[in-house]
Amino acid sequence: MTLPALEITGLQASENRRPILRGVNLRVETGEAVALLGSHGAELTATLQAVLGRYPARTGSVLIHGVESIGLDAYAVSHLGVAACPARPDIVSGMTCEENLLLPLPLEGVLGGGLSLTDIYELFPALRRARATPGVNLDEEEQQMLALARVLRSGANLLLFDQICAGLPGPAARTMGRTVTALKALGYSILFTELNPDFPADVADRSYLLVDGVSQALEPALDGVSMVIPSHGLATVPLSVTASMNASMNASTNALMNAPLNASVGASIGDSSSLATSNAADASGASDSASIPMLTPAYAEAQTLIDEFTRPLP
């Protein structure tokens, strides 16, 4: 039986004796993307920080790949194969995009098996085009891609994404959604927090709601419509629609999303078939699955990625 990548039970945390988390329970299976939603960004961020061991005053249970980490400090937790992606990277002034990307990582040489520069440029062609651009001149979407790319170099296979679409317009948010879907297809396990209503709803395999420091699982309603709390209030809104509603939306959805994706398999992210083929085995030197260390997920076949990229998004 495969252990969950992350299992949190009764997590409580406080800062300066002020309770922040009062009871968080959630689970991320291997290869899943799970959403943690809420109307208060500070609570969402605090949950990820607590998982990373950055709150000394925390109780409960946080199992990472089956290892209890509640008593470990942040340095020890990072060696369990978990890494966080901030909303924006710390960009060093005076360095290009590629120079920022190649800055040494805290876990470099420890976890091993992170994506190569070739793999990253296949996944994020926008970064390849901006490789010689001063880092401070990158737009918000490119900065977020840079933040994700740096995490993927670490070798971690449990990824924590904290509001990575904050401030991004709808098209950029949906591009990030396709990125999460592609990473899931590659075998990564992902817990992400999100407030942006433009983020594609069906990226998450399951969702949890965090209110006043307490989490609850969001189960699909009887009519097939899942409900979430949007970032701007506490009224519920549909996360996904029923099959009958999907039928009426297919024409517009396909026109907006499928045509460009089929033409260039996620053009805003990269050629997925090229990435998967190069990862499987090519002469350019990308790693094959037999040589990938244990903490790095095995790469998916090309057709798997193509299927993921061409799946209709809301």
What's the pTM value of the predicted model, to 2 decimals?
Answer: 0.70
The answer to the question of residue 260 being in a domain is yes
The answer to the question of residue 271 being in a domain is yes
pLDDT cut 70: percent of the chain above it: 67
Place of tokens 């942040």: 74
Residue 149: HSE in the Cβ half-sphere, 13 Å Cα cutoff: 30
The answer to the question of residue 258 being in a domain is yes
CATH number of the domain bearing residue 58: 3.40.50.300
Place of tokens 């120079």: 99
Classify residue 48 by burial, with Cβ atoms within 10 Å: 0-12, 13-18, 19+.
buried
Kindly tell me the sign of the dihedral angle through the C-alpha atoms of 27, 28, 33, 38.
Answer: positive
Q: How many residues does the chain have?
A: 314
Identify the CA nearest to 38 among candidates 169, 235, 193.
Answer: 193
The answer to the question of residue 1 being in a domain is no
Please write the tens of the pLDDT for every residue from 130-159.
Answer: 999 999 999 989 999 999 999 998 889 999
Tokens of 230: 């949007």
pLDDT of 112: 65
Q: Which residues partner with 11 through β-bridges?
A: 24
Number of domains comprising the chain: 1
Q: Of the segments 87-96, 117-126, 249-258, 288-297, which one has the largest average pLDDT value?
A: 117-126
The answer to the question of residue 261 being in a domain is yes
Instruction: Tell me the residue range of the domain where 25 lies.
Output: 6-309
The answer to the question of residue 314 being in a domain is no
